[in-house]
Structure 1
Amino acid sequence: MKRIKILLVGLLTSLLLPGLVNAASASITVKTSGSAVVGNTITATVTLSSSTPMGSWQYLISYDNSKLKLISGQTSVADYTTSASGVKSKSYTLKFQALKSGSAAINVGSYLVYALDESKMSVSVKSATIKLRTQAEIEASYSKNANLKSLGVEGYSISPVFNKESFEYTLEVENNVERVNITGGVEDSTAHVSGLGTVDLTEGANKFEIVVTAQKGNTNKYTITITRKELDPINIDMDGVNYTIVRKSDALPSMTTFTIGTTTYGDVEIPALVNDNLTLIGLKNSDGEVSVYIYENGKITKKYIELKSNLIYVNPIDLVESKGLSFLKKTNIEINGLKIDAYKVEGSDNLIIYGYNLETKEKGYYLFNTKDSTIFPLDENVTESLNGLVNNYKYVIFACLGVIVLLLILLIFKRKKKMKIIPVEEKKAETKETEKSE
C-alpha cells in the first residue's frame, strides 16, 4: 500500500512539474522622477520586462487628469515583436504637464502579456506616484540653516572654543608656520560652505572668512584671524590705527610701474616697491589687510592708491587749484581709504581730481565717477571753455532779468496813463446832482 502511494505522488508530480517550470512571468513598471514643479513637464517611462522572451502584450495606463495633462505618448498600448527570438524588455514614454499641487498617481490598468509561444504569462505591475508642488511651495520648504557644526584649524586650538552662534575666532602660530588647514562642516546637509582648506600665512595677522549659504539663500560668515608671529615686528601708528611694517616682499601687492626693491626704515632693511619717482612700503592692519604708503625722506607720508580705468593708471595727488575750474565747489572725499580734495560736478556722480599718470608721467586733471570708479583725462582747454560758457550764461541771465524789469516798469507806466484822474470839485458836484435826482 505504501508503494502505491509513492507511485501516485510521483505520477502527479511528473504531470504538474512541466506546467510549473514553463509558467513564465513578466512585469510592467512605471517610473518617474518622483516629484515635479507645477507647470513643468514630467516624463514617465513604462517598461515591460521578463526573463522569458515576450511575443505580444497590451496594457492600459490611467492617471489623475485633474493634476496631470497628457502631452505625448499612448496610454493604451497593444504591441508585439517581429523578432523570431522575441524580446525580454520593451519601454514606452509618456509626457505630462503638471497642473496643480498634490499627489498624482500613474497606474497600470488592464494588461495581458504573451510569451513567444503564445502562452499567457503571469504579470506583476508597479505604478508610480508623483509629488507636485509650486515653485513657491518648494522655496518655502527650503532650509534657512546656515550654521557650521564644527570649525577649527588642524593641529591647533582656536579661541574661543567653537560655538555655532559665535562668528569670530583667533589663533596665533609660530613664525615658521607658513600654511595651515582650516576644517569644518555644515549643520545642514543642504547648505554650502566656502573658505575651508589649506591657506597660506604671511607674517602678522591673516584674516580668513568661512561663508555658509543656506538652501534658502541666507548666509552666515565665520572669521578666523590667524596671527603668524613676526620676528622683531615694527609697529607704527597712522591716523590712530596700529600697523606693522611688512617684512616679506611676497606680501606686498602688485603696483603698476613699480618693482620690488628695498629701503631702510630706521636702521632696518625692509622690502619696498620702487620706481623712478616714489618708494612705497607695506603696512598691515590688525585684520591682515595690507596697504601701501609713500615713504620719502625717512618718513611715511600718506596712503598710495591707483585708479585704473580704460587702460589709464592714475595716482591721485593733492589738488592744484585751477582758474578754469573756479566755478565748481571744492569738496573733500575718500577714495579707497585716501582722503583728497576735489572739485564737485553738481547734479552728477562725477568729481574732478588731480593726479599723476603712471604711464605718461604727467600730472593733470581727471574726471572720476564715484559710482562706477571710471576715470578719464580732462582737457584744461575744455574746462576753460566751460567756465567761459558758464560766465556767458550768467551775463545772459542778468540781461534777461534786466529786460523783464524794464518791461514791468513800462507796463505799470502805461496803466497809470490810461487811468482818468477826476478833480475833487468835480467829484463833489457829481455827488450833489446824484442826491437831487434821488
Structure 2
Amino acid sequence: MKKIKIIILFTILLLPKLVFASNATIAITGVNTAAVGNNIKMYVTLSSSAAIGSWELTLNYDSSFLKLIGSDADNGGTFMANKVAGASGINKKVYTFTFRTLKAGNTLLSIGSSSLYDFDTMGEMTVRTYNKNLKIMTQQEIEASYSKDNYLKSLSVDEFEINPVFNKDTLEYSVEVPENTKTINIKAVANDNRSTIDGLGEKEVVVGNNKLNIVVRAQNGSERIYILNVNVIDKNPIEIIIDNVTYHLVKYKEYLTIPSGFEETTIKMSDIDIPAFYNKKINYTLVGLKDEAGNIYLYKYEKNKYERFLELKLGNLKLTPLSIGNKVLNYEKETIDFDGKIDVYKIDKRFKLINAKNILNGEEGLYLLDIVDKTAVKYDLKDIYTLRKLNKIYLATTIIFLSTTALSIIIMLSFKRKPKIKDKEQKVKEKTKKELPKDEKVVKENKKNK
C-alpha cells in the first residue's frame, strides 16, 4: 500500500500541469430595427469572468446596407486590438460603432477572426460570439408596423368600485365617493405594453360630479379616451342655472383660490354658510360655481344674480373687465379669449381697449391692453378727444396753408408767362418790317413790266 502511494505521488510530480482554457464572450448589441437614412449605434462587448490580458478581433458588416461613420476602435475603423498594461487584466471592454443606414432590407453584423488571451496564463481563451441581425425599413414601413392597440386591460380606483364592471370596449364609468373626499387614486394597465396612458395617479375631486379622462395612446399615435365620472356625494346640493347651464355652488373653501385684493367671508344660502370673497374697494362678493365637468369658476354675486369674474394680471395692474357698448372712437366691439372671454374694442391685432375696474384701488375706466406683452395702461378719453380736436385744427390749418401756397404759385406763374407773349409779338412785327421792302420791290418791278 505504501508502495502504491509513492508511485502516485511520483507520477503527479513528474506529469506536466494541465492548463484549462478560460471562457470569454464577444457580443454585438444595438437596435433591432432602423429607418433608412438614420444614424444608429452598435456595440461590441468583450467579457469574461477571468481577467482578459490582450485581444484582437474584427467587426464585419455589409457596406451596401451600412456606412461606418465612426468608432472608438483602432483608427476609427472596425479592427480592435489591445494589450492590458498593469498588474491585472480587465473583465469587460465595450466598443461603440456609429453607422448610417443606406437602404431597406435585412443585414448581419458579425465578428470576424478573433483572439482573446488570459491575463494570468497568457493562454488563448475559448470565445463564444453573438452576432447581430438588423432590419432596415423605410419610414412608411416602420409606421405601418406600429401597434394600433389603444385599449386598456384594466381600470380601477383605490378603495372604491367603478360601475359598470370594467370591459375594454366600455368607455365611460362612474364611481361614488363620500362628501369629505378630496383626492382619489386612479390605476390602469394598457392592453399593449407599447401604449402610453395619461390621466392616472392621484387626482383632486370636489363635491359633485368630476369628469376625468384617461387617454390611451397606441404606438402608432391613435388615441382612445376612457371617461371616469367621480361623484363626490353632496347631501344638500345648491343648483344655480345661468344661461341654461347648470352649476353647483361650492360649499368648501379648500376648493377655491382667493384673488388679489379680496378677503375671506361667508354668505348664507339655503341656511348654509357658503364660502365667499369680498373686496371693499370695488364692492364685489365672489362665490364659486362648479360646472358638470368639475371646473370651478368664481362669480360675482349680487341680489341673486351671478356674473363671471375674471382677474387680469397685467404687470402691476390687477383688473376685472366690465361690460362695454358697441362702439367707441370708431373702434368696433369684439370678443377675445384672454384668460377667459372678454369684450374689447379692436384697435388692431395686438392692441385692444377694455373697460375695466382696478381691483386694488377701485378705479374704473378704459385701458389700452397689449395682448402680446400682457400689459395695460390707463386710456383717458378726455385726452383723446382733446388730441383729436387739435388734430382737426392742425389739419384745417394745413389745408388752408397748402391752398394759399398753391394759389400764390399759380398767380406767379401766370405773370411770368405774359412777357414771353409780348416778346413773341414784338419779334413778329420786326420780321414783318424787314420783309416789307422786298414786297415793295416786287410791286415796282411789276409796274415796269406793264
For normalisation by structure 1, the TM-score amounts to: 0.71
SS at match of 1:169: strand
Tell me, yes or no, if structure 1 residue 356 matches structure 2 residue 361.
no
SS at match of 1:184: strand
Residues 227 and 97 of structure 1, relative CA distance in 2, 3 Å threshold? same
- Per-residue CA deviations over 1:132-154 (Å, capped at 9, x if unaligned) read 45666544433343322222323
Q: Which residue of 2 aligns with 1:327?
A: 330
Residues 295 and 157 of structure 1, relative CA distance in 2, 3 Å threshold? same
Superposition map of 1:216-365 within 5 A: 216-265=220-269, 267-276=271-280, 277-296=283-302, 298-319=303-324, 325-331=328-334, 340=343, 342-345=344-347, 347-348=348-349, 350-365=351-366
Distance 1:287 1:55 in 2: 69
Distance 1:39 1:190 in 2: 22
| 2:377 maps to amino acid | P
Residues 249 and 228 of structure 1, relative CA distance in 2, 3 Å threshold? same
Tell me which moved more, 310-319 or 74-83. 74-83
Distance 2:271 2:54 in 1: 97
**Greater Rg over alpha carbons, structure:** 2
Q: Which residue of 2 aligns with 1:106?
A: 109
Superposition map of 1:29-428 within 5 A: 29-35=26-32, 38-47=37-46, 49=48, 51=50, 57-70=55-68, 71-72=70-71, 73-74=73-74, 75-76=78-79, 80=83, 87=89, 89=91, 91=93, 93=95, 95-100=97-102, 101-112=104-115, 122-133=126-137, 137-265=141-269, 267-276=271-280, 277-296=283-302, 298-319=303-324, 325-331=328-334, 340=343, 342-345=344-347, 347-348=348-349, 350-368=351-369, 374-380=374-380, 383-384=384-385, 387=388
1:32/1:44 contact within 8 Å kept: yes
| 1:24 maps to amino acid | A
Distance 2:248 2:315 in 1: 34
Distance 2:134 2:160 in 1: 50
SS at match of 2:173: strand
User: 1:98: how far off?
Assistant: 2.5
| 2:186 maps to amino acid | I
Distance 2:318 2:306 in 1: 21
Residues 387 and 167 of structure 1, relative CA distance in 2, 3 Å threshold? farther
User: 1:388: how far off?
Assistant: 5.0
2:321/2:342 contact within 8 Å kept: no
SS at match of 1:305: coil
Distance 2:92 2:161 in 1: 61
2:368/2:379 contact within 8 Å kept: no
User: 1:224: how far off?
Assistant: 1.7
| 1:377 maps to amino acid | V
1:191/1:215 contact within 8 Å kept: yes
| 1:62 maps to amino acid | N
User: 1:313: how far off?
Assistant: 1.5
Percent identity over the alignment is 30
SS at match of 1:294: strand
SS at match of 2:254: helix
Tell me which moved more, 205-214 or 186-195. 205-214
| 1:363 maps to amino acid | E
2:207/2:234 contact within 8 Å kept: yes
Residues 132 and 18 of structure 1, relative CA distance in 2, 3 Å threshold? farther
1:43/1:95 contact within 8 Å kept: yes
User: 1:205: how far off?
Assistant: 2.0
1:30/1:106 contact within 8 Å kept: no
| 2:243 maps to amino acid | D
Tell me which moved more, 97-106 or 389-398. 389-398
User: 1:235: how far off?
Assistant: 1.9
Structure 1: unaligned runs, 5 residues or longer: 1-6, 403-438
User: 1:242: how far off?
Assistant: 1.7
1:57/1:79 contact within 8 Å kept: yes
1:55/1:117 contact within 8 Å kept: no
